[in-house]
Amino acid sequence: MAVFRESNPLHHDRAAEDRRRHRQLVEDSIKKNLPDILSEEAIIGQSKNRKIKIPIRGMKEYEFIYGGGGGKGVGSGSGSEKRGDKVGSDKSGQRNGTGKAGSEEGEDIYETELTIEEIISYLFEDLHLPYLDRKRLSEVWTEHARKKSGYQSKGIPPRLAKKRSVIEKLKRKQGMKRALTEQGVRKKIVRFPFKEDDIKYYRMHVTKKRESNAVVFCIMDASGSMDQTKKYLARSFYFLMVRFVKLRYIHVDVVFIAHSTVAKEVSEAEFFHKVESGGTYMSSGYKLALELIEQRYNPTYWNIYAFHASDGDNWTDDNERAVQAAKALCDISNLFGYIEISPGTYESTMRRLYSSRIKKQNFALGRISQKEDVWPTFKNVLQSDRKEGG
């Protein structure tokens, strides 16, 4: 069977093209399996070196295939085809109405192992997402560089100043020779070992600079309507968001707030597994976030990112309070996002209220109906933090 390659009159690096195609297959597989990959990962303290297996389709050259069954047909396209589409595919390898298995060769699937850091690198490297707007600088000074600045008598072995130590020893030896000469003693010094006072270490001068701080508030409805499937989708979204913020800032705090009618600051484990009975007051989660910001995260020094995941069910009497509290969060945050996790195309009352009542530029609305929505929603939410003209 003939095999056809793309024609290129100029010099064509075949190996580079194969690497590009392989990278594209890896990226497509990661995005397709993203929620499954991240659903069990810890947002805080995850193992950077843990390997995760990713299924990758095998690469094949372009080729012509003959149709089966002796039927007539034309293998031309309609003009609407895109790169990678199959034209005139042979369906003899599929199951038919008789229930018999096909006889054609199946598709090759391989597995490759990647660490969490490598997966994040694949996802973010060519994404062209906005560089988060750093509105404030932190009070904390971080080490920026270390420079040698003189010598000292105490230090650690890696900073041993060998040349300076030898000079100190020679100075002491010459001093002893002069002393002996002045006393009329003519004695050749054969052995002259180092003493502790001879050993010198480099003194390091540390330069510091102010760095940006950030805090991410993960707020989620913990009532019975938020089942494990919805929390599984929320975890994938929060994981991506926290990792992205950590790429932009030196120091990042993550705060988990779970709420029903009352909000509580909880651990990550409780955040994703604790279920409470009773109704839902969304405003309680927002108000607790505002209180923690006032107590621990002064907006003058902290870049604040807050995200709320909910299925949209809220007690009617709390709707107006939730809208006002959400506006207050927008006023002091770099970015505030409401992520509604619900099946189908159903739009809750709260989503409609937020859409019509909150017109802040740093407010983002997102919806996740199935696992395939996690990655597009993540990208769309971050667009709200793009600088004008950026």
Structural contact between residues 251 and 214, judged by C-beta atoms closer than 8 angstroms:
yes
Residue 89 structure tokens: 């595919």
Fold of the 211-385 domain: Rossmann fold (3.40.50)
> Which of 104, 85, 84 minimizes the C-alpha distance to 94?
104
Q: Are 281 and 314 in contact (CB under 8 A)?
A: yes
Pairing of strands 51-57, 109-115: antiparallel
Cα(72)–Cα(305) distance, rounded to whole angstroms?
61
Phi, psi (deg, nearest 5) at residue 330: -60, -35
Question: Domains of the chain: which residue ranges?
Answer: 17-34+44-63+108-126, 144-208, 211-385
Is residue 327 classed as helix, strand or coil in its secondary structure?
Answer: helix
Give me the helix-helix angle, 228-248 and 374-382, nearest 10°.
40
Distance CA 305, CA 308 (A): 10
- Name the token pair of 117: 């850091």
Q: Which helix (H) or strand (E) holds 306?
A: strand 302-310
Residues 6+ positions from 209 with CB-CB distance below 8 Å? 141, 142, 144
Contacts 24+ apart (CB under 8 A), 22-30: 22/56, 22/59, 23/122, 25/56, 25/57, 25/59, 26/54, 26/56, 26/112, 26/114, 26/122, 27/122, 27/123, 29/54, 29/55, 29/56, 29/57, 30/54, 30/114, 30/119, 30/122, 30/123
- Least Cα distance to 91 among 61, 107, 68 occurs for 68
Return per-residue pLDDT of the chain as tens, 390 residues. 455 555 555 555 667 777 777 677 777 777 676 666 665 556 655 555 666 666 666 555 556 666 555 555 555 667 777 776 766 555 544 444 454 555 555 555 566 677 777 777 767 765 655 555 565 555 555 555 567 888 888 888 888 999 999 999 899 888 888 888 888 777 777 788 898 889 999 988 776 666 668 899 999 988 878 888 888 888 888 988 888 888 878 788 999 999 988 999 999 888 887 777 778 899 999 999 999 999 999 888 888 999 999 998 899 999 999 999 999 999 999 999 999 998 777 788 999 999 999 999 899 999 999 888 888 898 888 876 544 433
